[in-house]
Amino acid sequence: MRDVKIALVLALALVAIALAIVLSGSPPAVTRAKAPIADAQRLGALASGGEVCQGGEVVPRGTTAMRVWLEAVIGPPLTLTARSGSRVLTSGRRGAGWSTASVTIPVRPVSRTSSDVTVCVRVGQTREPVHLAGVETPARSASYNASHEPRAGRVMVEYLRPGRSSWWSLARSVSRRMGLGHALSGIWVALLALSMVVAMATAMGRLMLREMR
Amino acid sequence: MRLPRAAWVCAAVALLNAACWSLVTPPLQGIDEPDHVAYVQELAETGHRPVVGAANELSEEELIVYEDLHGALIRFRPQSPAISSDAEQQQLERDLASRFPPVGPVNAGTAATEPPLYYALETIPYTLGSWGDLLDRLQLMRLFSGLIAAVAVLMSFLFVRETLPSAPWAWTVGGLAVAVMPLLGFVSGAVNPEVLLVAVSAALFYLLARAFRLGLTRRLGLAIGAVSAAGFLAKLNFIGLAPGVLVGLSLLVLRAPRASRRAALRSAAAAVLIAFTPVALYVLIDALAVKPLLGAAAPVLQLVQGSITREINYVWQFYLPKLPGTEGYFPGIDTARGLWFDGVIGRFGWDDVFFPGWVYDLALVPAAALAALGFRALVLGRGALARHIPATLTYSVMAVGLLVLVGADSYISEHSGAGGPYWQPRYLLPLIPLLAVGLALAAQGAGARWGRVAGVWIVVLFFANDLFGQLQTVARYYG
């Protein structure tokens, strides 16, 4: 019984510590190029080994990930490289298995803002075409493929860096937003969810202490 | 039979978990939820199932609410949060208070081919919520899904009890771990017929385990038949479990003592008769109406199309690494890891809520430890294994049958150009009773001294997965 009690307290304490660490962190903030989603257009697709590049990008200081508007059902591995002239500013990889209309690729943190950067995304082996989404532009500023043929526009690339506010400090606004668009309204939604988690933990703990003596 | 209190607590925890997920996931952002709600609404308001050829996918009311919630702009786009301004909320409230025309025929999109039992049950909370607006009704429907999940967990607990009768403490490990499994919480916190299939499957695992322990009595035969009939009416994926049930019934008859074999045979026959009655009725109704047999589900049920070897190869690679010399269907991805393992650890919403990549890598460590502990328990208990071969064979055929059906469905869909691949991790949820037993075994594998401690850690590990899954969902929609 004593062992079970100690294990339970220790395990829950570890979860509480992990929770505190996560909530002390900051949500990623989009530093540039947040486009109106409704304006996004399809700009063709990439097959295995295909690449899309676009120049004239500004990569902000502190960028730790880039969100590229690519779409696939089973997304292939991706490699992203950001170059300023011939110098590689940063790069990153994303494994296969992503499945949405945009994909976030973690990159080496960028120490200072650089302009006129060329961002290229190369697609690994893929079973399906990877669709590109963005906004239509004239050919001279459009993205292009490996043989420098322009596409119909620029692919949306968003630059993410750790935000400045911790999740703790955002708790109030997150709670407020949880109260919108639901059957219940107001901050009660968040409080109710929280109390349910506490009730679950209590019921589990008591049951384990009783049944696993 | 009196149920242990621990089973009820596990069920209550599952209900709480589902209720929590129902608050965290924005309305109509459960996967395919708009279509499932449309099906319920059509059934409740008109008494008819969705019409495949109907022009509208959703009712006007649901469509307006979906637009007000920016549903189509949010799904598949992790960068798009849920509504966040008072103006958007006021617009939604104004529209919810409006009068809408009576619900006309809708096609209910992807839900149209599904059988009606889950939707018929969901008309109860839908009707009970007639005092409120569509969001109130949706919340009640979600809670009803949670109740069904509680039944699934209760049955999983009882399955563990039947399978490992000598270790009562381990029942709690299996029951609680699946009760707080985030994937189950997410699915049962939304409107989705998958949850009924999970409950039906868990009940069948339990009833079969009980029959393997006590023999196939008339009562158990009738119960297996009734639950199987409910399965056929719950979701088409039940077809994958059915061969395993037939194998189980056959083995139960064969291993019955000579004196009671005839009675066991009668019980098995009754089970089969009851199980297939709804299917026969379906066929009869369609035949009388001169419609394609099994209606809209008929194309889905053509499980073999084109080359059978190509289909087998596809289904193999859907879960396992490609064999040398075969055509590759999933280049560049390890499906077992990238699709299924990662999916079970956590992909929520419209597959657009997920953990950072390192979480899935880290999850491999406890998963490997649990597999090793489970294997150790099997090695230590190998003396008793021979006794369980018929039951193990039955459960294996049920599991493989489901996996093959899901893989074949995906292949056919791709082969016929209808979309896909369809690889939703939730399709594996009907196998949670096996997971519960596996986890209970893993705890036992830690030995007499540390087994209970390992059990506590297993449950808390699943709880942590659930908690952080919900936080990730909160961050994605409201952060």
Distance CA A38, CA A202 (A): 45
Answer whether residue A2 shows pLDDT above 90: no
B59 touches chain A (CB under 8 A): no
Q: Is residue B208 very low, low, confident or very high in pLDDT (cuts 50, 70, 90)?
A: very high
- Cβ separation B329–A104 shorter than 8 A: no
Answer whether residue A1 shows pLDDT above 80: no
Distance CA B305, CA B194 (A): 25
Answer whether residue B197 shows pLDDT above 60: yes
Mutation site for A-interface testing, chosen from B73, B139, B330, B333 by largest number of A Cβ within 10 Å: B333
Rounded average pLDDT over B261-267: 96
CA distance A99 to chain B (A): 7
Which pLDDT tens digit goes with each residue over B324-383? 999 989 988 999 999 999 999 999 999 999 999 899 999 999 999 999 999 999 999 888
For residue B227, the model assigns a pLDDT of: 98
- Cβ separation B456–A7 shorter than 8 A: yes
A204 touches chain B (CB under 8 A): yes
For residue B172, the model assigns a pLDDT of: 97
Q: Which of residues 397-456 of B touch A (CB under 8 A)?
A: 420-421, 423, 450, 452-453, 455-456
For residue B296, the model assigns a pLDDT of: 53
DSSP code of residue A109: P
For residue B103, the model assigns a pLDDT of: 85
For residue B346, the model assigns a pLDDT of: 93
- Cβ separation A170–B456 shorter than 8 A: no
For residue B291, the model assigns a pLDDT of: 65
Lowest mean per-residue pLDDT among A122-126, B271-275, B417-421: B417-421
A104 touches chain B (CB under 8 A): yes
CB contacts, 8 Å: A38 with chain B: 73
- Tally of CB atoms within 10 A around B307: 11
CA distance A22 to chain B (A): 9
Average pLDDT value for chain B: 93
Could you tell me which of B17, B374, B1, B405 has the C-alpha nearest to residue B231? Answer: B405
CB contacts, 8 Å: A68 with chain B: none
Distance CA B417, CA B400 (A): 26
Answer whether residue A213 shows pLDDT above 90: no
CA distance B392 to chain A (A): 27
- Cβ separation B73–A211 shorter than 8 A: no
A67 touches chain B (CB under 8 A): yes
- Cβ separation A180–B88 shorter than 8 A: yes
CA distance B171 to chain A (A): 9
Q: Is residue A37 very low, low, confident or very high in pLDDT (cuts 50, 70, 90)?
A: low
More confident residue, A115 or B304: A115
Rounded average pLDDT over B79-103: 92
CA distance B209 to chain A (A): 23
Mutation site for B-interface testing, chosen from A197, A202, A213 by largest number of B Cβ within 10 Å: A197
For residue B78, the model assigns a pLDDT of: 86
Rounded average pLDDT over A174-192: 93
CB contacts, 8 Å: B331 with chain A: 48, 76, 125-127
For residue B51, the model assigns a pLDDT of: 87
Tokens of residue B303, six digits: 């499980």
For residue B416, the model assigns a pLDDT of: 81
Q: Which residue of B has its CA nearest to A189?
A: B23
For residue A48, the model assigns a pLDDT of: 93
Rounded average pLDDT over B301-322: 86
Helix (H) or strand (E) holding A154: strand A153-155
Tokens of residue B206, six digits: 């339990």
For residue B104, the model assigns a pLDDT of: 82
Lowest mean per-residue pLDDT among A15-19, A29-33, A130-134, B38-42: A29-33
- pTM here is 0.93
CA distance B279 to chain A (A): 33
Answer whether residue A38 shows pLDDT above 70: no
For residue B298, the model assigns a pLDDT of: 58
Q: Is residue A148 very low, low, confident or very high in pLDDT (cuts 50, 70, 90)?
A: confident
Share of chain B above pLDDT 90, in %: 81
Q: Which residue of A has its CA nearest to B180?
A: A200
Question: Under 8 Å CB-to-CB from A28, ≥6 apart: which residues?
Answer: A64, A65, A160, A161, A162, A163
Q: Concatenated DSSP letters for A55-104?
A: EEEEE-TT--EEEE-EE-SSPPPEEEEEEETTEEEEEEEE-S---SS-EE
